[in-house]
Structure 1
């Protein structure tokens, strides 16, 4: 239409390009949040499925290490996280490690990480559970129930390595770490480690099972709707401004332009004037 020829002017072409670019970015951000939603929903589904699933052998989910002591095996596949597994071996309490700064039910304490040595000489780290810090403070080793002796079978959830972990540090006679990273811990133990750890389902008396924390997938779903709504509002804003421009300036109020009507002369004045001009 002729009234919309202004859309081809440089100014309005610039508006259009900016609008399309902004809406495109918002749509892409929404798609990214949608992908995050599906990822988190999948993790939550695995957590729910693992609650009642029958444990499977550890080596059927992740490959055992084949290197020398101080090395780790292959990284488990992402979709295997939270799988319930079972593994048999002997605990090595001499290389037990406390993971500091761990929160369970609002309280900060330690997770107890004990290597479980398998019959082939390799080992997997087992998170035996959470324990409160000692009453004398976090620098004192808490009262940790001893690991069972002899051959034991452990059932628990498979967890991938945590990032940015370091080598265990000696703190007042006990080893501590902040993050569970088998590749860093392997340099401090006399065997090869699985590049994952097992969070025990049945901790010993005095230890609390570390709960599986679900992902907040609904938050990502909300972000999807938010970004796509912003994109729609951006496009609508451009259309609204274009239509207003096409209509032109609003017409002035006609009542304001018309002059005020003269006040009628009083009836007696008109009559007197008429009488004054009547011939004798």
Structure 2
């Protein structure tokens, strides 16, 4: 009986199949190294952000340690404590609904204040419990802390009911009150009796960025371990 030899197809030649495997091997190693480099860069970026945020918080503390400033015209400096000079526009007071304080639902009472040059600021006078009747009327001088515009979350396109709002921004208030655009948003430091003062909103602290940085560095370390385990050690 004659023996028939079947040649190996070109696609299965040892030299070619070995080259394909080496190409895939190198491609996988390069992709893993790129991933390790990317996670290290992201970790360093988060450390930079933590340092930058730390400097910002220090600057805010320095600004707020300055003496209170009498303010009667123009856009107020952010984070500064001010004594506003002008008049309350009590007829345009608004209530922000569904604001929770210590487990209770209430309102943020926001009353516009007009400086002597006509500039309007929105003053958040504090929290007032729902069902407690009318909050105290705004009167006298207002001692405030200048804030950035808050990020209120609106769950739906709820219409304005009287003076009750779900959300507020300069344009919405100006359109409702037929007034000029408010130039700033401030928190009252001396709320009226029965009202609860609100905590100031500051940029997130450095802890969040440090946690993100740690996560990225741990991912980089795990990627480095995989590279050593499956590539460096395999070559040895």
Task: Give TM-score scaled by structure 1 length.
Answer: 0.65
Q: Which runs of 5+ in 2 are unaligned?
A: 1-18
SS of the aligned residue for 1:162 comes to: coil
Contact persistence 1:169–1:175 (CA under 8 A): no
Question: Aligned pair 1:189/2:189, yes or no?
Answer: no
Cα 1:129/1:46, change in 2 over 3 Å: farther
What is the aligned partner in structure 1 of residue 101 from structure 2? 104
2:120 aligned to which of 123, 129, 149:
123
After superposition, the C-alpha distances for 1:78-125 in whole angstroms (9 at most, x for unaligned) are xx5433233211111111000122233343321110111222233211
SS of the aligned residue for 1:194 comes to: coil
Contact persistence 2:86–2:114 (CA under 8 A): yes
Question: Aligned pair 1:153/2:144, yes or no?
Answer: no
Distance 2:148 2:79 in 1: 9
What is the aligned partner in structure 2 of residue 56 from structure 1? 69
Distance 2:211 2:64 in 1: 27
What is the aligned partner in structure 2 of residue 251 from structure 1? none
1:24 aligned to which of 37, 43, 50:
37
SS of the aligned residue for 1:193 comes to: coil
Cα 1:206/1:169, change in 2 over 3 Å: farther
Question: Aligned pair 1:92/2:105, yes or no?
Answer: no
SS of the aligned residue for 2:97 comes to: strand
Cα 1:193/1:24, change in 2 over 3 Å: same
1:241 aligned to which of 226, 230, 233:
230
Contact persistence 1:165–1:181 (CA under 8 A): no
Shift of 1:10: 1.2
Question: Aligned pair 1:162/2:147, yes or no?
Answer: no
Distance 2:83 2:158 in 1: 26
Worse-superposed segment, 200-209 or 121-130: 121-130
Larger radius of gyration: 1
Query: Aligned residue pairs: how many?
Result: 214
Task: Give TM-score scaled by structure 2 length.
Answer: 0.75
What is the aligned partner in structure 1 of residue 168 from structure 2? 180
After superposition, the C-alpha distances for 1:207-243 in whole angstroms (9 at most, x for unaligned) are 1111124534313202201201211321232123234
Calculate the aligned-residue CA RMSD, in Å.
3.2
Q: Which runs of 5+ in 1 are unaligned?
A: 1-5, 65-75, 136-141, 248-280
Distance 1:133 1:29 in 2: 46
Cα 1:119/1:175, change in 2 over 3 Å: same
Shift of 1:53: 2.9
Shift of 1:131: 0.8
